[in-house]
Amino acid sequence: MCGRYATTASTSDLVAAFDAALAEDDASTLDRPSYNVAPTTTVPTVLERAGRSDPEDADSDPAVTRQLRPLRWGLVPSWAKDPKIGSRMINARSETLTEKPSFKAAAARRRCILPAAGFFEWTKDSDGKKIPYFLHDPDTPILGFAGLYELWPDPEKAKDDPDRWLWTTTVITRPAADALGHIHDRTPVIVTPELQDRWLDCTSGKADVARELLDALPEPHLEPYRVSTDVNNVRNNRADLIERV
């Protein structure tokens, strides 16, 4: 499971790192480092999509562009009756990604990348106290978590309402190995730079492509270190939360 992470790069650094363009005129929701990203919050997300303003209008603005967008963490499928389902869908297992109805369509047509500095996991000491660790790659300041995204139409809003569409995302996870396995049995799938273009390219519309790419991605080699228990409280959001203790 990946239930908390940090994203510290500036908007300009993310645009440069992923060769993306801002999808929103106002980047204020993106240009805020977060050292304790929690589910249901807004997170920077990289995706490729036709430039149409209405997702249901297949004939307008057909050019595909790479975009940096603010999405809410917690996937809400387009068929969901209640967007609250997103709080239970912050992760998608790589093993069943192309089989489960909640993720299969997105795996084929709506893959994305969530930039991150690293993520948090917890172990328990002999007294049962939760001990937090931060896992990162000291040689890669911006990691790319493999993700999926969806658009949910709010039935209570008019079709021409610009706020009708709720954009949401989920982080794909896989079994953990090496140094990570003793901390938690699962880890986010990290898209290596050489495979990012292929991961974001959903023009084939086939879920098998996602399966092939997931199988081709190597195990991440991340460094875990202990951090302050202050990160246990989602209300805390400070730079020192990712410092070694």
CA pair distance 62, 50, nearest whole angstrom: 5
Query: What stretches of the chain adopt beta strand conformation (E)?
Result: 5-7, 21-22, 34-37, 42-50, 64-73, 91-93, 111-116, 118-124, 130-136, 143-153, 165-175, 186-188, 223-226
CA pair distance 151, 75, nearest whole angstrom: 9
Q: Is the dihedral of CA 151, 67, 196, 18 positive or negative?
A: negative
Q: Are 165 and 70 in contact (CB under 8 A)?
A: no
CA pair distance 220, 169, nearest whole angstrom: 21
Residue 223 burial (C-beta neighbours within 10 Å; 0-12, 13-18, 19+): middle
CA pair distance 239, 78, nearest whole angstrom: 36
- Give the residue numbers marked as catalytic: 2, 121
Give the contacts of 170 (CB within 8 A, at least 6 positions apart): 73, 74, 75, 89, 90, 91, 92, 103, 147, 148, 149
Report the chain's terminal Cα–Cα distance, integer Å: 23
